[in-house]
Amino acid sequence: MLKNDLILRAARGEKVERTPVWLMRQAGRILPEYRKVREKAKDFVAFVKNPELAAEVTIQPVDILGVDAAILFSDILVIPEAMGLPYKMIEAKGPYFAKTVRTEKEVERLRVAVGDDLSYVTDAIKLVKKELNGRVPLIGFSGAPWTIFAYMIEGSGSKTFSQAKKMLYTNPALSHSLLQKITDSTINYLKAQVAAGADLIQIFDSWAGVLSPEQYNEFSLKYISQICDALKGNKGNKENIKNNNPISPILHIPSVPIIVFAKDAFFARKEMSKLKCDVISLDWTMDIAESRSLIGSGKTLQGNADPCLLYSDKSIIKRETEKMLRAFGSKRHIANLGHGLYPDIEKDKVKFFIDTIKEFRF
């Protein structure tokens, strides 16, 4: 039993006493305590693969910042690695893949990941759940297939992801077959996370904003939709079994709330309202009232303060945070930032932002 289930209730549209809050990248470099644990691992990938260390930094923001949920410390890039494309995290630069995928042969060679390939993640989830002992829910996550595809083709981060987009234009059939392999892997992975104890799931589509609305429907939303369907009611599962797809046959996992975060995809908000997800996460460029009217009242909204707000004085943080809470209203809102915390934001300001939300009453 969870002692604090505010986020789960808010996600399902049930009554809450106050707006719940957690922050993207709360388990990260803004905490000196995180940096200390990180030093114990050889590098970022070794850190992610160590369930004890991953569990420790997952719980830190619950103890130190007082957030209403933990998010598993891991990375979206564990999926390419499980499919056969290992990555490195280069300090101050970001991810780097020695091998990328550009040809039919290279797509064929990739495997569909199954839950067991990522047992270091499910082991970390089990440790976190034990250690949390019901204090707050645990959020599991994955990248959206498009965002994972973008890293696998590009081989690193990019401002434009022009190589990944080039593949969409020059070989849409190959693009679809790679996206399908990533989607099947992601479904297996998320099911394993839920089976291990994740209480809700967030899908990060960090590079949604480089696509046109039409491309977004065809190359991203279609696959996010398959993931939502497979996690809810196992519809995708039955279809996959019928079509002999290599999807893992875990049929009985609880149906957990799903949050979809598509950064910069202001153009897709109406389409996203048709997904079988419970929560849509907004970035700070998306007007709150307009988003509510496009998405309707059937979903919870999450977000959407600009992380840079947390560089300001406390009086401004308080004023802007309360303005945001009023704009979302008392129903169906989970407070968060519009994207992850930046590493140089002061921990004290982050705590102040969280406390402002927790103390606010309508």
Interaction of residue 115 with ligand 1CP, rule CB under 6 A? no
CA distance 98 to 355: 43
CA distance 61 to 99: 35
> By 3-state DSSP, what share of the chain in percent is helix, strand and coil, each rounded to 5?
50, 10, 35
Is the separation of the CB atoms in 322 and 354 below 8 Å? no
**Candidate residues 49, 65, 69, 73; the one interacting with ligand 1CP per rule CB under 6 A:** 73
38 is catalytic: yes
Residue at token pair 């006493």: 17
207 three-class SS: coil
Q: One-letter amino acid identity for 21?
A: V
Interaction of residue 124 with ligand 1CP, rule CB under 6 A? no
Residues 332-351 binding ligand 1CP (CB under 6 A) are 340
Q: Near ligand 1CP by CB under 6 A, which window of 88-96, 171-179, 235-243, 246-254?
A: 88-96
Bridge-partner residues for 200, per DSSP?
A: 139
H or E element in which residue 144 lies = none
CA distance 146 to 262: 10
Residue at token pair 């780097």: 96
344 is catalytic: no
Based on CB atoms, which residue is closest to ligand 1CP, 204 or 360? 204
Interaction of residue 286 with ligand 1CP, rule CB under 6 A? no
Residues 189-248 binding ligand 1CP (CB under 6 A) are 204, 206
Could you tell me the smallest distance in angstroms from the CB atom of residue 248 to ligand 1CP?
23
**Candidate residues 12, 29, 99, 358; the one interacting with ligand 1CP per rule CB under 6 A:** 29
29 is catalytic: yes
Could you tell me the smallest distance in angstroms from the CB atom of residue 143 to ligand 1CP?
6
H or E element in which residue 97 lies = strand 94-97
Could you tell me the smallest distance in angstroms from the CB atom of residue 333 to ligand 1CP?
19
Based on CB atoms, which residue is closest to ligand 1CP, 84 or 340? 340
CA torsion angle 119 120 121 125 (round to 10):
100
The catalytic position among 25, 102, 135, 319 is: 25
CA distance 321 to 313: 12
261 three-class SS: strand
Residues 90-109 binding ligand 1CP (CB under 6 A) are 94-95
Interaction of residue 83 with ligand 1CP, rule CB under 6 A? no
Q: Near ligand 1CP by CB under 6 A, which window of 67-75, 98-106, 161-169, 269-277?
A: 67-75
Based on CB atoms, which residue is closest to ligand 1CP, 84 or 157? 157
Dihedral over Cα of 181, 184, 185, 186: its sign:
positive
CA distance 289 to 93: 36
Could you tell me the smallest distance in angstroms from the CB atom of residue 329 to ligand 1CP?
26
User: Residues in contact with ligand 1CP, total (CB under 6 A)?
Assistant: 21
Residues 130-169 binding ligand 1CP (CB under 6 A) are 141, 157
CA torsion angle 155 160 163 167 (round to 10):
120
**Candidate residues 8, 16, 26, 49; the one interacting with ligand 1CP per rule CB under 6 A:** 26
Is the separation of the CB atoms in 80 and 148 below 8 Å? yes
The catalytic position among 5, 34, 68, 75 is: 75
Residue 236 in tokens: 């995708």
CB-based closest residue to ligand 1CP: 157
Interaction of residue 44 with ligand 1CP, rule CB under 6 A? yes
- The total number of residues written for the chain in this structure: 362
Residues that bind ligand 1CP (CB under 6 A): 24-29, 38, 44, 71, 73, 75-77, 89, 94-95, 141, 157, 204, 206, 340
Active-site positions? Answer: 25, 29, 38, 75, 151
